Amino acid sequence: MTPPPGITLTVCPPLTDHDLNDLFAASWPGHDDTSFARTLARSLCWIAAHRGDRLVGFVNVATDGGVHAFILDTTVHPDERRAGLGVDLVRAAADEAKSRGADWLHVDYEPHLEGFYAQCGFRPTPAGLMEL
């Protein structure tokens, strides 16, 4: 796993709400600023991608406290897309989750992302979903 030139991947670096909200606002139309403190406090780990001091990628790994971990919030800044950074983030998250005791890594995604997650090493499985 080699990130694109000029990009640094870091495991669980300190991140500010400002940095995360800037990344999410650029990447997800309609994003409303939020506090990420509780989310990160409950995470198994997260991977951040920086170009210099600028946060350009992020993926979070939640856990059930046992052998299952869950990929959440895979986000790459639009200026950095289509260069392999998303795959690098998810693979780094998988490696870190494994090193922290996870045996299974789950991800939910929309149909148009199936190819992306296949590149990351996931295989499709039947699953259930309930909107609450």
pLDDT tens track for 87-119: 999 999 999 999 999 999 999 999 999 999 999
For residues 107 and 71, the answer to whether their CB atoms sit within 8 Å is yes
Residue 131 lies in a domain: no
Residue 2 lies in a domain: no
CATH number, domain with residue 27:
3.40.630.30
User: Could you tell me the residue range of the domain that residue 93 belongs to?
Assistant: 7-119
Residue 32 lies in a domain: yes
Residue 132 lies in a domain: no
pLDDT of residue 128: 82
Query: In this model, does residue 1 exceed pLDDT 70?
Result: no
pLDDT in tens, 44-99: 999 999 999 999 999 999 999 999 999 999 999 999 999 999 999 999 999 999 99
Q: How many domains does the chain have?
A: 1
Query: In this model, does residue 14 exceed pLDDT 70?
Result: yes
